[in-house]
Structure 1
Amino acid sequence: MQEERFSYLFKQYFSKQGGPAEIEELLRLIDSGDYDQQLKTIIDQHYEDFEPIKSPFSTEKENSILTAVLNSSAPAMELKTPGRSRLWTSISIAASLLMCLGIGVYFQQRNTYQNDQELAASLIVPGSNKARLVLGTGEVILLDTLKNGSQNFEGGVQITKTKDGQLIYTIKDSGNKNASLINTIETPRGGQYQVRLPDGTEVWLNAASKLKYSNDFKAKKREVTLSGEAYFEVAHLANRPFLVHTSNQVVEVLGTHFNVDAYPDEENQVTTLLEGQVKTSSKKQNVLLKPGEQAILDLQHDRLKKAEADLESVMAWKNGDFIFKDENLASVMKKVERWYDVDVVFQDVDPKAIKLGGWVSRSKNISGLIKIIEPITGLKIRIDGRRVTVMK
């Protein structure tokens, strides 16, 4: 036990963290002579641990540091045995030299680390307009590579891509045998897209989202199925309701503006109304929303509740921003994963227990977000390729 105490005291002195009482205790143990072998082993170990670290200084600089240390006045210490005094002086010099070199190495390594992290962050660019359309016939169309103008595809589908990248989807003949085919628009992680459906409804899809709909938009009900997040501006058609199906609920409207957040890896599905009126139904409940309200479906308990909405935060993604208001870190980093196409891991951090707020443009590289998250949370973020580690 005393040997462990001796090692601890030496470490405290070596790192300049020991208080006067600990230094005095260490001096007494050294003076006793009972720890000579352990002291030699510890000194050797410190040198062995230090040797592999490449000094940032030139040989000339190292020699000048050593000369300065040797010429500096050693702390006054009264030890009974001259031999012990010489030993302690050599320990002090060795510790001082290692501290000088160690600090230099630390700053060099820190600067190198920071430069590496800045480079890694600069390589992770924000998402962009990209998606693919899978027609009911099985044909796959990469929308971001589609040329501007109108093109005809199988199943009576005509796609027009505008100069600003919007996709206008038209069914030339929904009365044919392909009318019931299901089409799917998918945005990947790091992608978003805007599409106009055959009835004139405009849809903005957030990253990692999927929207399914049939060719037959002349039926009594206009129905789509959503996984992920989308903002809808529904064309008003009397007696032809527009239904959005998610995995656990149905949102029914006639003509209105609303946002549906229904990612499969979230605990809640949230429908937010900006204009008009919508009815949101789960298996057990239904809620009628007015503008500025949202329906929150707790998936674990299948519980639907109504609440006031923060429209600025809800619509931030569609307006090209990240806006966080007292949002937990787990939720924030899920958005980071989707938009920047990265994988986030937490190391010794409970992300649900940490709240933060801030604003940054979604057009910025990931470094813009890191500059917000690190100072607010006091955490560190390390980037290795497309792996983002959040740690203490």
Structure 2
Amino acid sequence: MNNQKAKHLITKFLTHQASIADLDELEIWLQDPKNEHLFNSYVQTNYAVEFEMRQFEANDLKRNLQELMVEEKTTIRLKKWRQVISYAAAAVFAGLLVTGYFLKDDIFNKNIETTPRIVNNNIEVGSNKATLTLEDGSQINLEKGTSYQMHNAKSNGEKIEYIAEEGNKTKLANNILTIPRGGMFHLVLADKTEVWLNSESQLKYPVNFIKGDTRKVELVYGEGYFVVSPSTEQEGSKFIVSNQFQEIEVLGTEFNIKAYKNEKNIYTTLVEGKVSVSTVTTKIVLEPSQQANLNLNDDSIDIATVNVDSEISWKNGDFSFRRKPLGEIMKVLSRWYDIDVNFEVPELEKALFNGALGRDQNIEDILNTIKNFGIIKDYEIINKTILLK
């Protein structure tokens, strides 16, 4: 069996499209030790692996794969009437599931044969960069490879850190940190609260806090991950994150807020501790692993239990998508790569994708992964605009 056919069978296995004959052939191929490296490399390079599952031993991977193939064969025999097999295995491959609505052999083969049209691809991977606006309105560009320092703050181009000033201040001076499309940045406030800001985000905050008073910052728009310095270390002062639609009160916790411009939902995800989410009409309290979804159309709040690691994967250098529509996924990618995305067929926006991808990958690698699983047939890149077909 040649390598191309092996890759085809691996894809069919991972998406539960393989027949018993396919699995038998793949199992025989894997018994040859020289094929183990190709298998590991192919899966890790070309296919989405849930980020928490990326650390594994090759021997364990091979053994678990063979165990899962046995389970797959048994399931096929018992449930031939089902087109797509749904099961959750406790082995390493439990997190390696990538699916699309339209994955069929003929589509997969077409994807292999077609070559994307690429004209002047100047799309760059996102990086650490931000614009710092001082109280007097002056602006400073922060980016990787540069440094900045003033009396109460310093930056190495990847993080800006404020130093608490002694004395009880009676007037607060505010700075604004703005993250452009294609950027992210790490901020340490004067009280040691840490904030990671995602692409296309803006945070307004005091350069110093008044001891004993409520600490308040404003997520003007975008997405931020907060690790809040406990109130017990700040003379009991509470910490509040606000925007124009809601206010979040915390005592000492970790949470993520996603409140992008021109979107009708704000998501608050609690990692540790406890927070209250308040609007003009509603107030709810979140427990760890819960997510509040504020619908701006009717001011209603829904609460759901979510996979926290998936929701905050951007902070750790990953995209993690759990049965997300392609339209929503491309919004995320467009911010990180600073691109425009169009769909040749509107129905493509509803196709689901499940898996994780590295934020350090170039855009062509990510698009090829989505294409190889049959979610799209092909794509075009012209300058910084992508057309999905």
Q: TM-score, normalised by structure 1?
A: 0.64
Aligned partner of 2:159 among 163, 166, 173? 166
CA distance in 1, matches of 2:120, 2:115: 10
CA distance in 2, matches of 1:180, 1:160: 19
| Aligned-pair CA distance for 1:354 | 1.8
Higher helix share: 1
Residue matched to 1:225: 218
Matched residue of 1:350: which SS?
Answer: helix
Residue matched to 1:381: 379
Aligned partner of 1:251 among 248, 269, 290? 248
Residue identity over aligned pairs, in percent, reads 34
Aligned partner of 2:238 among 238, 241, 250? 241
Letter in 1 for 2:215: R
- Unmatched 5+ stretches in structure 2: 1-110
1:146–1:218 CA distance, 2 compared to 1 (3 A): farther
Residue matched to 1:290: 287
Letter in 2 for 1:186: T
CA distance in 2, matches of 1:361, 1:236: 32
Listed one character per residue, the Cα deviations across residues 161-191 of structure 1 (whole Å, up to 9, x for unaligned) are 25x83211235478668x4332100110000
CA distance in 2, matches of 1:194, 1:332: 23
Bigger relative CO (Cα 8 Å, ≥ 6 apart): 2
Listed one character per residue, the Cα deviations across residues 129-160 of structure 1 (whole Å, up to 9, x for unaligned) are 01111011112111216744x722xxxx5222
Residue matched to 1:135: 134
Letter in 1 for 2:339: V
1:171–1:205 CA distance, 2 compared to 1 (3 A): same
CA distance in 1, matches of 2:326, 2:191: 39
Residue matched to 1:114: 115
| Aligned-pair CA distance for 1:236 | 0.7
Aligned partner of 2:199 among 193, 199, 207? 207
| Contact 2:117–2:380 (CA under 8 A) maintained in structure 1 | no
| Contact 2:116–2:379 (CA under 8 A) maintained in structure 1 | no
Tell me, yes or no, if structure 1 residue 312 matches structure 2 residue 313: no
| Aligned-pair CA distance for 1:312 | 2.1
Residue matched to 2:178: 186
CA distance in 2, matches of 1:354, 1:388: 17
1:352–1:287 CA distance, 2 compared to 1 (3 A): farther
| Contact 2:144–2:158 (CA under 8 A) maintained in structure 1 | no
Tell me, yes or no, if structure 1 residue 337 matches structure 2 residue 338: no
1:323–1:254 CA distance, 2 compared to 1 (3 A): same
| Aligned-pair CA distance for 1:209 | 0.5
CA distance in 2, matches of 1:132, 1:373: 33
| Contact 2:222–2:258 (CA under 8 A) maintained in structure 1 | yes
Letter in 1 for 2:308: L
CA distance in 1, matches of 2:204, 2:149: 20
Matched residue of 1:131: which SS?
Answer: strand
1:350–1:197 CA distance, 2 compared to 1 (3 A): same
Q: Which moved more, 1:292-301 or 1:186-195?
A: 292-301
Tell me, yes or no, if structure 1 residue 327 matches structure 2 residue 327: no
CA distance in 2, matches of 1:372, 1:363: 14
CA distance in 2, matches of 1:385, 1:173: 51
| Contact 2:239–2:251 (CA under 8 A) maintained in structure 1 | yes
RMSD: 2.6
| Aligned-pair CA distance for 1:115 | 7.0
| Contact 1:187–1:205 (CA under 8 A) maintained in structure 2 | yes
CA distance in 1, matches of 2:292, 2:178: 25
| Contact 1:330–1:351 (CA under 8 A) maintained in structure 2 | yes
